[in-house]
Amino acid sequence: MIRKLLSLLLLAFFPYFLQAQQVLGFTLQPGRNRVKIPIEVNNNLVIIPVVINGQLPLRFILDTGVRTAILTEKIFSDILNLTYTRKYTVGGPGANKVIHAYVTNNVSIDLPPGVHGEGHALLVLEEDYLELRNYLGADVHGVLGYELFSRFIVQIDYERKEMILIRPDKFRPRKRQQKIKISVEDTKPYFVTTVSMTDSSTCHTKLLIDSGASHGLILEPDSNDTIKVPRTFVKSIIGRGLGGVITGKIGRISSISLGKYNVHNVIANFPDPNSYMDTLKTSRSVQRNGAVGGEILSRFKVTFDFPREYIYLKRNAAYKKRFYYNMSGLTLKAKGSRLENFEITDVREHSPGDDAGILPGDLIMKINGIPATSLDLNQMNAFFNLRPGKRISLDLNRNGERLKKEFRLASQI
């Protein structure tokens, strides 16, 4: 969702940030070799607590695919009276939108408890252009990436909801973890593996490891002739960016290899060439075939060792969980100051929600008899991914008229 906007910004500002990053530095408190930090996992994304300039507590997405820390709304940097050294204006594709961003330097970023960072440059967006808060249904204020991974061994335990940071010289990998070689190129981690498109068709792929993406797998057909969209697929929105929605086809592949692990029947996204723009997650000098995201990573305890260029995997209880894709066909957005109002923003054609006559703009008042105000967006979306055949009853508000719609969840791929 955040890809296209941040792509344009970081591509334009790369030389400036490269210079600024030379003074960045996270450190642990004296005498500490490791620290454990609680995390939240929302839609397969890792959200961590941060404190800016020792005053303002915020929450950032932990993203292996970004170079520089980003603050998504200028109001927070204004609260701190931060000084901006430069202002940028960037036009979106087709000149549909213009966004404004600022750079502020010498910012401190703390991760409680016990991690302190000095001299950071922040890219500050004038406002949350992509409505990140609304589409996650949670208060998220920014993104943090390479600055942290370059300084520590970063271990993410999705199951226990904790992150452990370890000084690289004190890290000793455990024997039962699967060790996979990666290459850190342009500050981002890549690995080479085999993807089985069908039982008889395989392809050799170079994939970005992208903790800041909620999807399981993206494959780019234009990058390799052996990457082909499966015969059974649905057309859908696979993300949102500065210029609008990112569209593509979604289908199921046979498996992907992660060292000794073979993850089967994976849902894969195949972006439309004219819709997908992802320079944030790669560079013109790095050729790649796609990306592995949170829906796969969250099935493991993942340890990132950027300094030595390895990752370590240990499967968790979610490893054998079946992959499903939006069995209702409905895309929701949380609204209101408390994010407790849920608007349907998109209805996939020929989906159960479409067949039931649900329309974009409908507001959900109840789901299966439960008031929507008692749920968050994660819980709401969980109803739509329970199991094929599950009956869903929605009480809707359509322009002031109360309606009731029913349908059964169905996997279309």
Span 148-187, pLDDT tens digits: 999 999 999 999 999 999 999 999 998 889 999 999 999 9
pTM of the entire predicted model = 0.90
Q: Which amino acid type is present at position 114?
A: G
Q: Where are the beta strands (DSSP E) in 92-197?
A: 98-111, 115-125, 142-144, 153-157, 162-166, 178-181, 183-185, 188-196
Q: Quote the pLDDT of residue 208.
A: 97
pLDDT at 247 (0 to 100): 86
Reply yes or no on whether the pLDDT at 338 is more than 60. Answer: yes
Helical H runs in 46-100? 74-79
> Is the Cβ–Cβ distance between 289 and 218 less than 8 Å?
no
Residues sharing a CB contact under 8 Å with residue 249, sequence separation 6 or more, in sequence order? 229, 233, 234, 235, 236, 269, 270, 272
Q: How many Å apart are CA 191 and CA 131, to the nearest integer?
A: 31
Residue 4: its pLDDT value, please? 40
Confidence of residue 80 (pLDDT cuts 50, 70, 90): very high
Beta bridge partners of 111: 115
Average pLDDT over residues 340-345: 95
- pLDDT mean across residues, the chain: 89
CA distance 70 to 141: 9
What does the alpha-carbon distance between residue 380 and residue 344 come to, in Å, rounded to a whole number?
Answer: 12
The 10s digit of each residue's pLDDT in 348-364 is 999 999 999 999 999 99
* Cβ contacts of 117 within 8 Å, gap of 6 or more: 24, 25, 26, 27, 108, 109, 110, 111, 147
What pLDDT is stored for residue 232 in this prediction? 94
Which two three-digit tokens encode residue 11? 């591509």
Place of tokens 């439309």: 272
Residues 253-277: what's their mean pLDDT? 89
The pair phi, psi for residue 371, each rounded to 5°, is: -60, 135
User: Biggest alpha carbon distance in the chain?
Assistant: 63
The pLDDT, as a whole number, for residue 1 is 46
The 10s digit of each residue's pLDDT in 280-326 is 444 556 799 999 999 999 999 999 999 999 999 999 999 999 999 99
Closest alpha carbon to 114 in 174, 163, 149: 163
Distance between the two ends of the chain, CA-based, in angstroms?
22
